[in-house]
Amino acid sequence: MSDTISFRQEIANLLYASEGEPLNTCIQCGTCSGTCPVAPYMDYTPRQIIALINQGKKEEVLQSNTFWYCASCYHCTVRCPQDINITDLMYALKRYSIWKGQHKEGLIGPTFSEAFVKMIVRGGRSFEPVLAPSYIFSFGMRELLLEVQGATELLLKGRLPLLPPRIKRLDNFKRMLGRIIPMGGLE
Ligand code: SF4
Ligand code: SF4
């Protein structure tokens, strides 16, 4: 028997074990795509993404914007006649994409997510100035200036720390994280 597992099985393994093999039960009815408010902006609709995963089309899936555009609204999940948790699937694809370092170029989502996870792993807390460069330059000049103005006001009022905060017992926190997420090259 081969030691390598298929792309479809890798993604299925990232979903909750208690849900069995949800991707197998998709009947391609399209309810999720018809329900999704973001579908018109996605390279592939949620229904198409499931079909591509089941066909093992890893490159097409990872190079799409679909899961990065998902707004986590859960409309698809509550309406799926097969009770497939499509929202969780979108989260699983984001994790997989970051883990493998494969994603479509030019999207804010992967850069933001990677910066966020690295920051949490290092200090245990979110720190806006570290996150801002991952998206702030995609705004127009006016928005950029407004963001800088807002940050300056927060800083002057002592609402924005100068240095990234760190939680207590950071080593314990890192050990816990190491058990639940594949760290890859994130540390
Ligand atoms: S609504 Fe459910 S069963 Fe229908 S295509 Fe979407 S995931 Fe598949
Ligand atoms: S959870 Fe994501 S994929 Fe599902 S309907 Fe909302 S935006 Fe679309």
- How many angstroms is it from 28 CA to the middle of ligand 1? 5
Residue 97 contacts by C-beta under 8 Å, 6 or more apart in sequence?
62, 67, 103, 110
| pLDDT tens digit sequence for 83-123 | 999 999 999 899 899 888 899 998 989 988 888 888 888 88
Going by alpha carbons, the residue nearest to atom 8 of ligand 2 is 36
Q: Tell the burial category of 53 from Cβ atoms under 10 Å away from its Cβ (0-12, 13-18, 19+).
A: buried
Please give the pLDDT value at position 13. Answer: 78
Residue 164 contacts by C-beta under 8 Å, 6 or more apart in sequence?
119, 122, 123, 125, 127, 130
44 vs 65: CA distance, rounded Å:
8
Residue 167 contacts by C-beta under 8 Å, 6 or more apart in sequence?
123, 124, 125, 173
In this structure, the answer to whether residues 11 and 84 fall within a common structural domain is yes
Please give the pLDDT value at position 16. Answer: 64
In this structure, the answer to whether residues 71 and 112 fall within a common structural domain is no
Domain span holding position 84 = 7-100
In this structure, the answer to whether residues 83 and 156 fall within a common structural domain is no
In this structure, the answer to whether residues 23 and 96 fall within a common structural domain is yes
Ligand having the closest approach to the CA of 80: 1
In this structure, the answer to whether residues 21 and 86 fall within a common structural domain is yes
Residue labelled with tokens 């609402």: 159
Number of domains making up the chain: 2
In this structure, the answer to whether residues 85 and 133 fall within a common structural domain is no
Please give the pLDDT value at position 65. Answer: 97
Q: Tell the burial category of 1 from Cβ atoms under 10 Å away from its Cβ (0-12, 13-18, 19+).
A: exposed
CATH number, position 36:
1.10.1060.10
Residue at a domain's end among 81, 100, 119: 100
Please give the pLDDT value at position 183. Answer: 55
pLDDT interval class at 18 (50, 70, 90): low
In this structure, the answer to whether residues 92 and 139 fall within a common structural domain is no
179 vs 172: CA distance, rounded Å:
11
Going by alpha carbons, the residue nearest to atom 2 of ligand 2 is 70
| pLDDT tens digit sequence for 19-78 | 667 888 999 999 999 999 999 999 999 999 999 999 999 999 999 999 999 999 999 999
Helix-strand-coil split of the chain, %, nearest 5:
60, 0, 40
Let me know if residue 28 belongs to a domain. Answer: yes
130 vs 187: CA distance, rounded Å:
15
Going by alpha carbons, the residue nearest to atom 5 of ligand 2 is 36
In this structure, the answer to whether residues 56 and 75 fall within a common structural domain is yes
In this structure, the answer to whether residues 70 and 129 fall within a common structural domain is no
| pLDDT tens digit sequence for 117-170 | 888 888 898 888 888 877 777 777 888 888 889 888 988 998 888 888 889 999
Let me know if residue 187 belongs to a domain. Answer: no
Residue at a domain's end among 38, 68, 100: 100
